Amino acid sequence: MPEKLFKVDLSKSMDQQDIPGHNRWHPDIPAAFSVDPGQSFRMECLDWTDGQVKNNDDPSDIRDVNLNRVHVLSGPVHVNGVEPGDLLVVDILNVGALQEQEWGFNGVFAKENGGSFLVEHFPEAQKSIWDFHGIYTTSRHIPGVKFAGIIHPGLIGVAPSHELLAEWNRREEELVNTDPQRVPPLANLPDKDSVVLGTLKGEAFDKVAKEGARTVPPRENGGNCDIKNLSLGSRIYFPVFVDGAKLSVGDLHFSQGDGEITFCGGIEMPGWIDLHVEVIKGGMEKNHIQKNPVFQPGPMDPQYSEYLVFEGISVNESNGKQSYLDSNIAYQNACLNAIDYLKTKGYTAEQAYMLLGTAPVEGHIAGIVDIPNACCTVSIPKAIFDKSMDPTE
């Protein structure tokens, strides 16, 4: 087993850990530890909310989650000898749940607190708890379903440079200013409330707290990409923007449907992850990997072969307005069509929505060139249900 270099205590919040992690992106956050290229190591992670959600039937904790606290990340990891312009090569050797907590949660966020992909249809908070049985999971809140998880980190990334951080904050503030009163907001700007910044203190803490970018969206450094197939055996090539790269990881999921559409998506959990790092010197320019990471999926994937596939096109379902090749609208419609169908099989709309966010559902852009309608699909494995889900005569 790789040496454990970042440990968490589930009874403590991230800022109270022996080695605290962080919940903002900033190049001045100190490294939690250092490794050499060629080294393997284990990191433990808290769940993305820092323990705010409990194993019960009451969704009020989802409703009241302090989003300024998320995501709490383990790290950063300084990789010795790595410099800007290099590629950091990260292999995911293994990932799993902690023995002290073999359950996870999914939730639909309330409109006034983050919302979700289908927020206008599901404005109220909902929660489902999922129990782990080896590689499988079931939920008392969504009966009749059992599936194998693709355990993966929802968030893994490297630190930005000062210049890249300033560009993130500039462009996101510009977007927010187009509709500053929107609920939910167009972006989450830097906010000093509930900041965790490793071992930083005093004036240095105050400066980074004021500037640090929220971890909510994916960006050029990787970050919160929520790619469900970034799992066991995957390899990631990260552009490096600062000395040591400063790699961080968190937001572990037991399973997730493509799109993580409920926002508190997938099956969130604390856990552990084993990583191996290498470096390609000057690799950003040599390989033209300069704007976003590249990854190779691993060989681990549940073997589901039969699916029900729901289509959606880019026509606004509420007012019939035609859009031009809007894949966001098309994917929303595919999800809504799947939810409507699952309602005929005994599930509530809320149960169906959370199922799409947690099960190994495949989401695809089927066509994005046939004007004026994009077509997206949502594919649900038939074998996860304990009864036939085929249309009836």
Give the pLDDT confidence of 232-248 residue by residue, as tens digits: 999 999 999 999 999 99
**Model confidence at 346: pLDDT above 70:** yes
**Model confidence at 350: pLDDT above 90:** yes
Q: What mean pLDDT do residues 374-387 have?
A: 98
Q: How confident is the model at residue 1 (pLDDT cuts 50, 70, 90)?
A: confident
Between the alpha carbon of residue 240 and those of residues 303, 324, 352, the distances in Å are 35, 36, 40
Query: What is the average pLDDT score of the chain?
Result: 97
| The pLDDT of residue 265 | 86
Q: What mean pLDDT do residues 350-373 have?
A: 98
pLDDT > 70: what percent of the chain? Answer: 100
Q: What mean pLDDT do residues 88-114 have?
A: 97
Q: What mean pLDDT do residues 337-363 have?
A: 98
| The pLDDT of residue 94 | 97
Residue 309 makes CB contacts below 8 A (sequence gap 6+) with 377, 378, 379, 380
Q: What mean pLDDT do residues 289-302 have?
A: 94
| The pLDDT of residue 204 | 98
Sign of CA dihedral 291, 219, 224, 328: negative
| The pLDDT of residue 24 | 98
pLDDT > 90: what percent of the chain? Answer: 97
| The pLDDT of residue 330 | 98
| The pLDDT of residue 82 | 98
87 touches 280 (CB < 8 A): yes
Phi-psi region of 232 (alpha: psi -120 to 50; beta: other; left: phi over 0): beta
Sheet holding 362-367, edge to edge: 307-313, 375-381, 362-367
Q: pTM surpassing 0.85? A: yes
159-203 confidence digits (pLDDT tens) = 999 999 999 999 999 999 999 999 999 999 999 999 999 999 999
Q: How confident is the model at residue 385 (pLDDT cuts 50, 70, 90)?
A: very high
What is the Cα–Cα distance from 23 to 15, expressed in whole angstroms?
10
| The pLDDT of residue 393 | 65
211-236 confidence digits (pLDDT tens) = 999 999 999 999 999 999 999 999 99
